[in-house]
Structure 1
C-alpha cells in the first residue's frame, strides 16, 4: 500500500510568506512596489516632490462655450512617462463637456496637459480639484512611497448667452391698406362658375391638340412615312438579290435561308433567339402576321434544311423561287 502524504499547515504558511517576500523584493528591485500602488488618481509620475495646478483661460465663459483648462505638473523625474488624466472618467467633471486637445511638448521642468471644457449650465462655479498620486522612491518602502498632491479648484463664472431681441420695423404703406374690408365687396361678384360652353371646350381641347400636333409633325417631317417604306423595300431588294445569286455559291440552300432570315430581322423585329422554323413562325404570328403566311414562310426554312442534305438538281431554283414568293407575300402586308 502507498502512504499518503499530507501538507502541514506550517509548511503552507511558510510557502505563502516566502512568495510574498519574493514578490515584494522583486518589486523593490524594479523601482516601485506594485503592491502599494494606488488604484485611483495615480498617473505613473515619479519624483520627490511634485506640484500640480490648474490654469484657466478665460475665467468667464457662456453656457456650452469652450474654455481652455491646462493641468501643469512640475517636479516630475519622468515627464515622458506620465499618463494624461482622462477627465471624462472623473465624476467631479460630469458638469463639463470635456474635449482633449493637443498638448505642448514636454520638458524636464514641467508637463502641461490641455483640455477644452464646456460648462453644461450656469450652476457650475469652479473647475474641481484634481487629486494626484506619484511615486517617491526615496521614501520608506510601503504606502508612504505614494504620497499625493492636488490641483486646487479654480473659480469660474458661467453666464447665459445674450438674448437676441427682435427689432420691430413699422410697415411703410398707404393708410387704406390697414383698414379691413367687410360685406359683399370682399368676394366681389361671387365665385366663378364656368358655363356649358367652357366644359365643352375643355372636353374637345385634348383631341384637337393631338390632331394639331399630328399636322405639325407631318409638316416638319414630311418624308418620315416615305423613308419607312423605302427601308422596307430596300431590305426586300437586298434579300431578293442574295437569293438570285445563291446558285453561284457552294451552299445555295444555306445562303437562301440566311437571306430570308436577314430580311425578316430587318422587316420585323424578330428576337435573336428565333432561329428554327417553328420559332420563326411563332415570332411572325406575334407580329400580327397571318397564320397562313407565317407557316408558309417557316416551310421555306424547312425546305432549305432538307435541300442541304438532298442530291443536287433543280432544288436550288425551286428554293429560290419559293423564297422570293415569301418575300413578296410579306411585303404585301405593308
Structure 2
C-alpha cells in the first residue's frame, strides 16, 4: 500500500486479542434512478469535454445506459469516444475515454508522486460531483499499478517495457480495515489526464459521526479472540497436509459472503493462495483460491469464496475483486 499524499502517519490496527471490531450491515444497493443518473453524469464530467457533456444532457443519452435492456452491457455514446457500462449486480459504473487512452505522449511524463497528487484531485472532484461520499474514502487505501508495453524478438534483445499509463485504486477503510467489495480505479495517462474510471460496489450502512461510520445493528462490537498469526498457522497446518501452498496475500478485510446481496459483515482474515502439486514430475499450480477466517470465533469454519454454489444461478451477485 502507498502512503497517500494527504494521509500521513496512518497506522493499521494491531488486531490483538481483546480488541474490538465493528460489524456492519452491508448490501449491493442500486440507488434510485435519479440519484444513479446524477452519479453517472458526475463521472462523465471528468472524462469528457464540456461541449460533449452538454450534447449528452440535451439528448438524454446517459439514460440509455441505465435502461434495463442495456444495464450490464458496454455502450458507446453516439459521436463520442466514451464507452460506458453500469453493472446492476454490483452498483458499479465503468467509463472509458477511448481517445484519451490512445494518447501516448512521452514528451510530457509525470512521476509517480505527481500522479498520486493528481489522483487525489480527481477523488475530490468525484465527491464534488456527488459520485462518491468522500467520508467513505477520506482514509481509503491507495494502490498503484501500471499499463506497460514492450518489444523484442528471438533474434534481438528484448527492450525494456515502457509505462503507458498508471492505474490508481482506492479501497475504503472502516475503522482502519479495508472494504474488499467497493472502491475506485482510475486510469491516468502519463500527462496526468484521467482516461478511465471504475467506481461503486457494496454499501455499508450506518451514520457518520466525527469521521467514523457508526454501525446501526445491535451487538455490532465484537471482541477479537484469536490472533492473525494463530489463524495463519491453522491455515498452513491444514493445507500442508495435502501438499504445498503459495500465499499471494493475507489481510484483515471486510468481505461480503459469496452469493449474498446483503449481510452483516465483520472483519475477517482473508487469505488468497494457490495449491502447488507435482504431477508426472512437473509442478502444477492451481487457480487462485480465497478463504476467510473469523477473528472473533476460533471454532468457526472458514468461509470458502470459491465453493461451488448448490442452488441454480439466480440474481445474487458473485464475489467482486
TM range (shorter): under 0.3
Return the structure number with greater helix share. Answer: 1
TM-score by length of 2: 0.19
Larger Rg: 1
TM-score by length of 1: 0.18
